[in-house]
Amino acid sequence: MTTTVDPTLAAELEEYRTLCRSWLTEVRIPDVPLSLTERFRVLREWQGVLFDAGWIGIAWSREAGGQGLSHLHQLVFSEELARARAPQPIGLIGLDVVGPSIDRFGTVRQRTELLPRLLSGEDIWCQGFSEPDAGSDLSSLRTHAEIDGDDFVVSGQKVWTSWAHLASWCAMLVRTNAQAPKSRGISYLLVDMSSPGIVTRPLTQMTGDQEFCEVFLDRVRVPRENLVGELDGGWAIARHTLGTERAAYTLRRRVEYEVALQDAINELSACPTRDADPRRAYRVRSAVGRSHVSLRVLEAQTRKTIGRLAADTGPVPEDSVDKLLLNDIEQQVYGSIADLLGPLRVAPSGRPLGLDAARWAHDHLYSRAASIYGGTSQIQRNIIAERLLGLPRD
């Protein structure tokens, strides 16, 4: 990030990095349990620890309970967190995805009451956008809300909602005007997950985790003051949310892949039998070499992303190129390392070539989601073709 930021800021960031690093060597970094409910509890506590020490909401305004620093400071901390092999806090959907939109478009009251609790991990948030019949075509969502006195009354169904069963709040898109064109009749509501009429049903992912849910809403009353922005004006906010998600996510994940590949290299190079079979040695070298190239490509790519963050451009179509590369690279890296497990990938206790079979098999499966969530790779390609290359719409 040398050329994209000015020297004074660069020096400040280096100082900040030292600060992060030394704090991370002093604090007790939690082990992440395999069981999801245990994991949730531990990582939520961890968020509290990070919050108390001032490492949460780094780029958020002070008014919203944040640190009032730049996105680059946030990036530095994320990098150091990953390098220290420390887990992310549990509330990332709040922190990276919906929180920034509430901060930007919410009322003073919404910001002052909700955001500090979101940051500390006291409140965990989920994002209720997708529906059974509205995934890629989000604007055709059907969950609807009618105004009744001081409340909205919400009915419908959401799906793939990460952490919905454990969250206390949901940033939800609902249809408030059935007559208006699809994207013009949608509102952005903040829904208390303990409201009567909400039922969540966890779905099991191919990794075995139950991280996301179906959410059923039956005449759920949501106070009118929980509307973010204008009535029927939720689409612009949703786009902001999705855009913010892409940039923050790309930068954070990149560092995580770096650390993962380094772990793989450490495991492989400590294994004395690695080179015993020339064919296998060939595959190992190729997997490591290709993955390293991929990660350097991503690093070069994110220099431009960082430049955009520093210039505060907000979401732009160029983010879709990042997302597309990110998807491919995550799958390339985890896929090729997991391939080295050979037949032992089905025996999680095995350590073929020194690799931790359970971890790599899990992470490989998880990588298949990369090209689905946050806008599928096909949707990113549509955006690139239409908005960056100017090709005609269908």
Partner 1 sequence: MTDTLVTEVEQTVDAYLARSYGAERRLTLAECHGWDRAFLDEIDDLGWFALAVPESADGVGLPLSAVGAATMSLGRHLVPGPMVERLLLPALLLRHIDGSGPPRHDLPGAVVALVDPAANGTWSVDDDGVRVESGGLVGSMLPVRFGQEADQLLTVAESAGELAVYLLPPQTPGLDIEPVASADPTARLARVTFTEPAGAGITPVLTGSAAGRFVTELRAWARILAACELSGIATRLVEDTSAFVQVREQFGRPIGSFQAVKHTLADMYALARSLRNLCDAALEDAVSSSAEDLPMLAAVTKAYAAEAAVGVCESAIQMHGGAGFTTETDLHLYYKRALALRGWYGDHEELAHRIGDALLAGAGLAEPGDVS
Ligand X SMILES: Cc1cc2nc3c(=O)[nH]c(=O)nc-3n(C[C@H](O)[C@H](O)[C@H](O)COP(=O)(O)OP(=O)(O)OC[C@H]3O[C@@H](n4cnc5c(N)ncnc54)[C@H](O)[C@@H]3O)c2cc1C
Contact residues toward partner 1 (CB under 8 A) are 2-3, 265, 268-269, 274, 282, 284-290, 292-293, 296-297, 299-301, 303-304, 321, 324-325, 378, 380-382, 384-386, 388-394
Determine which residue in the list 38, 311, 378, 391 makes contact with ligand X, applying CB under 6 A.
Answer: 378
Q: Which does 380 bind (CB under 5 to 8 A by kind): ligand X, partner 1, none?
A: partner 1
Note whether 140 binds ligand X by CB under 6 A: no
Note whether 244 binds ligand X by CB under 6 A: no
Determine which residue in the list 295, 369, 380, 383 makes contact with ligand X, applying CB under 6 A.
Answer: 369
The residue of the chain with the least Cβ separation from ligand X equals 135
Rounded to an integer, what distance in angstroms lies between the CA atom of residue 40 and that of residue 214?
18
Note whether 331 binds ligand X by CB under 6 A: no
**Which amino acid is residue 272, in one-letter code?**
P
Q: Which stretch binds ligand X (CB under 6 A): 148-156, 276-284, 357-365, 367-375?
A: 367-375
Residue 348 backbone dihedrals phi, psi, to 5 degrees: -60, -20
Note whether 129 binds ligand X by CB under 6 A: yes
Q: 79 to 108, contacts with ligand X by CB under 6 A? A: none
Q: How many CB atoms lie within 10 A of CB 154?
A: 25
Q: Which does 219 bind (CB under 5 to 8 A by kind): ligand X, partner 1, none?
A: none
CA-angle at 230, arms to 183 and 373, nearest 5°: 45
Determine which residue in the list 55, 212, 235, 360 makes contact with ligand X, applying CB under 6 A.
Answer: 212
Q: Are 75 and 251 in contact (CB under 8 A)?
A: yes
Size of the site for ligand X (CB under 6 A): 19
Determine which residue in the list 23, 40, 216, 373 makes contact with ligand X, applying CB under 6 A.
Answer: 373
Of 61 and 139, nearer to ligand X (C-beta) is 139
Of 140 and 301, nearer to partner 1 (C-beta) is 301
Note whether 241 binds ligand X by CB under 6 A: no
Q: Which stretch binds ligand X (CB under 6 A): 33-41, 155-163, 183-191, 222-230?
A: 155-163
Of 157 and 382, nearer to ligand X (C-beta) is 382
Axis crossing angle, helix 278-311 with helix 71-83, rounded to the nearest 10: 160
Query: Is 15 labeled as catalytic in the residue annotation?
Result: no
Note whether 177 binds ligand X by CB under 6 A: no
Of 319, 189, 332, the closest CA to residue 264 belongs to 332
Q: Which does 269 bind (CB under 5 to 8 A by kind): partner 1, ligand X, none?
A: partner 1
> CB pairs under 8 A, 24+ apart, for 311-319?
312/71, 314/240, 314/243, 315/239, 315/240, 315/242, 315/243, 315/244, 315/246, 315/247, 316/243, 317/383, 317/384, 317/387, 317/388, 318/388, 319/243, 319/246, 319/247, 319/250
Of 151 and 299, nearer to partner 1 (C-beta) is 299
The two three-digit tokens of residue 84, written as one number: 């220290």
Q: Which stretch binds ligand X (CB under 6 A): 33-41, 230-238, 260-268, 371-379?
A: 371-379
Q: Are 340 and 283 in contact (CB under 8 A)?
A: yes
Q: Which stretch binds ligand X (CB under 6 A): 115-123, 140-148, 323-331, 373-381?
A: 373-381
Residue 390 backbone dihedrals phi, psi, to 5 degrees: 70, 25
Residue 230 backbone dihedrals phi, psi, to 5 degrees: -80, 155
Catalytic residue among 245, 258, 318, 330: 245
Of 192 and 299, nearer to ligand X (C-beta) is 192
Query: Which residues are known catalytic residues?
Result: 245
Which stretches of the chain bind ligand X, using CB under 6 A? 126-130, 135-136, 160-162, 212, 369, 372-373, 375-376, 378-379, 382
